[in-house]
Amino acid sequence: MAAPNLSANRRKAFKIATLGSHTALQILKGAHDEGFQTICVATSNRVSLYSRFKFIDQIIEITKFSDFPKIENQLIFQNAIIIPHGSFVAYLGLGKNKKMKVAYFGNKKVLDWESDRLKQRQWLQIATVPVPKRFKKGDKIDRPVIVKAYGAAGGYGYFFAKNQKEFDTRIKNFKAREFIVQEYVIGVPLYIHYFYSPLTKTLEILSIDKRYETNVDSLGRIPSQNQQGLGIEPSFVVVGNSPLALRESLLSEAFEMGERVVSTSKDLMDGGIWGPFCLETIITPEQKFSIIEISCRIVAGTNLFVNGSPYASLYYDKEVSTGRRIAMEIKEAIRTNKLKKILN
Ligand code: ATP
């Protein structure tokens, strides 16, 4: 593993930094609660938002997210540790993420596996985690499917087809050149927020959420006979998230799936995955999990749990969000002189 780029002045205290977006408030609040100085790298239009919060010690203003590399040396000079979140790849792109020189919490080798839907699927399959059936070019579509463009996010770039005929018609108007066709699993979508500690080699479930997506989550409000003729198409645009406690009998499977994902990652990529990640699942009426995606970092649904969760309370006697859990791991690594184990 490459040595993290920490300032030569090791006596200088470490600071925790992130981009002002996505889960920045949670990450920086958690870092502050663990005693770190915090830095928010914010675009000009968001400076006033982040200035409202006292737990943010410093704001570094940039004109646009892609200017991040220009201020990297400032971060390195301040012994900052960057905590990546969903906006890093979205705004900086895979290349700039991988090239980042400032100390980065997490394993960058995971990025290549995560960003490619087929590699992701391969990882999950090797981990014997159940995934929806995938239809390859020329396969007969014998059940409802969802078609996903590569690079789709936040619920845009999909369509639903109930059979081959509908698929054949819709695909003609689909703009994406690269896409995957997946069985549409009917059930409850549930997002499990894990944290794997490479220091203690333990996996925690910190929280669970359910997304609220428009219009798919509201279609049931209009009976199907009244929908006929309206031409309503299901869409999956995320509106928000709500907390969820999983039926306790399903929890052991949730832990075991996460553990298999972690142990498989150690075979597939040097160092494997560590820190926060999320399995995006659908639970069928037979109470079977189907995993539609893995996010290898803190996810937006964890913002519900800034002051802890029913699961985090089972491990800690204080309010622990995923953001705070990251800071706790960094603090422990500093204390035990193992920072190199958790930074890239
Ligand atoms: P993210 O925003 O987390 O990056 P994404 O945009 O890549 O996600 P997915 O998570 O793959 O997209 O899917 C978006 C939504 O579509 C899900 O939240 C879920 O409601 C629905 N969905 C995706 N795949 C399936 C499936 N196989 N069966 C049923 N619903 C699905």
The answer, yes or no, to whether residue 269 has pLDDT greater than 70, is: yes
Q: What is the pLDDT of residue 236?
A: 87
At position 33, the amino acid (one-letter code) is D
The band of 328, judged by pLDDT with boundaries at 50, 70 and 90, is: very high
Other beta carbons within 10 angstroms of residue 90's beta carbon come to 15
Question: What are the sequence ranges of the domains in the chain?
Answer: 8-128+187-213+242-341, 134-183
Distance in Å, CA 155 to ligand 1 centroid: 7
Q: What is the pLDDT of residue 155?
A: 62
Distance in Å, CA 243 to ligand 1 centroid: 18
Distance in Å, CA 310 to ligand 1 centroid: 25
Whether ligand 1 lies within 6 angstroms of the CB of 184 is answered as yes
CATH top-level class of 8-128+187-213+242-341: alpha beta
Q: Could you give the percent of the chain with pLDDT greater than 90?
A: 81
The band of 119, judged by pLDDT with boundaries at 50, 70 and 90, is: very high
The best mutation among 114, 121, 178, 236 to test binding of ligand 1, ranked by most ligand atoms within 8 Å of the C-beta, falls on: 236
Beta partners for residue 211, in sequence order: 241
Distance in Å, CA 8 to ligand 1 centroid: 44
> How far apart are alpha carbons 243 and 240 in whole angstroms?
10
* Per-residue model confidence as pLDDT tens digits over 60-100: 999 999 999 999 999 999 999 999 999 998 888 899 999 99
Whether ligand 1 lies within 6 angstroms of the CB of 278 is answered as no
The answer, yes or no, to whether residue 265 has pLDDT greater than 70, is: yes
The answer, yes or no, to whether residue 203 has pLDDT greater than 50, is: yes
Q: Using CA positions, which residue lies closest to atom 16 of ligand 1?
A: 236
Atom in ligand 1 nearest the alpha carbon of residue 184: 28
Whether ligand 1 lies within 6 angstroms of the CB of 191 is answered as no
* Per-residue model confidence as pLDDT tens digits over 120-150: 999 999 999 999 999 999 999 999 999 988 7
Average pLDDT over residues 327-332: 98
Q: Using CA positions, which residue lies closest to atom 23 of ligand 1?
A: 292
Whether ligand 1 lies within 6 angstroms of the CB of 293 is answered as yes
DSSP-derived secondary structure letter, 45:
G
The answer, yes or no, to whether residue 9 has pLDDT greater than 50, is: no
The answer, yes or no, to whether residue 4 has pLDDT greater than 70, is: no
Q: Using CA positions, which residue lies closest to atom 27 of ligand 1?
A: 184
- Whether the bond between 215 and the residue before it is cis, its omega within 30 degrees of 0, is yes
The band of 231, judged by pLDDT with boundaries at 50, 70 and 90, is: confident
The answer, yes or no, to whether residue 3 has pLDDT greater than 60, is: no
Average pLDDT over residues 326-343: 96
Distance in Å, CA 143 to ligand 1 centroid: 17
The band of 197, judged by pLDDT with boundaries at 50, 70 and 90, is: very high
Q: 236-243 and 202-215 as β-strands: parallel, antiparallel, unpaired?
A: antiparallel
Q: What is the pLDDT of residue 5?
A: 60
The answer, yes or no, to whether residue 319 has pLDDT greater than 80, is: yes
Q: What is the pLDDT of residue 33?
A: 97
Q: What is the pLDDT of residue 158?
A: 86
| Cα dihedral 170→172→175→178 (10° resolution) | 90
DSSP-derived secondary structure letter, 284:
-
Q: Using CA positions, which residue lies closest to atom 24 of ligand 1?
A: 292
Average pLDDT, whole number, for the chain? 93
Q: What is the pLDDT of residue 8?
A: 45
> How far apart are alpha carbons 337 and 216 in whole angstroms?
49
Q: Using CA positions, which residue lies closest to atom 7 of ligand 1?
A: 153
Distance in Å, CA 84 to ligand 1 centroid: 22
Q: Could you give the percent of the chain with pLDDT greater than 70?
A: 95
| Tokens, residue 335 | 């204390």
Whether ligand 1 lies within 6 angstroms of the CB of 282 is answered as yes
Other beta carbons within 10 angstroms of residue 68's beta carbon come to 22
Average pLDDT over residues 290-303: 96
The answer, yes or no, to whether residue 2 has pLDDT greater than 60, is: no
Whether ligand 1 lies within 6 angstroms of the CB of 326 is answered as no
DSSP assignment string, 309-325: -TTHHHH-SS---HHHH
Q: What is the pLDDT of residue 206?
A: 98
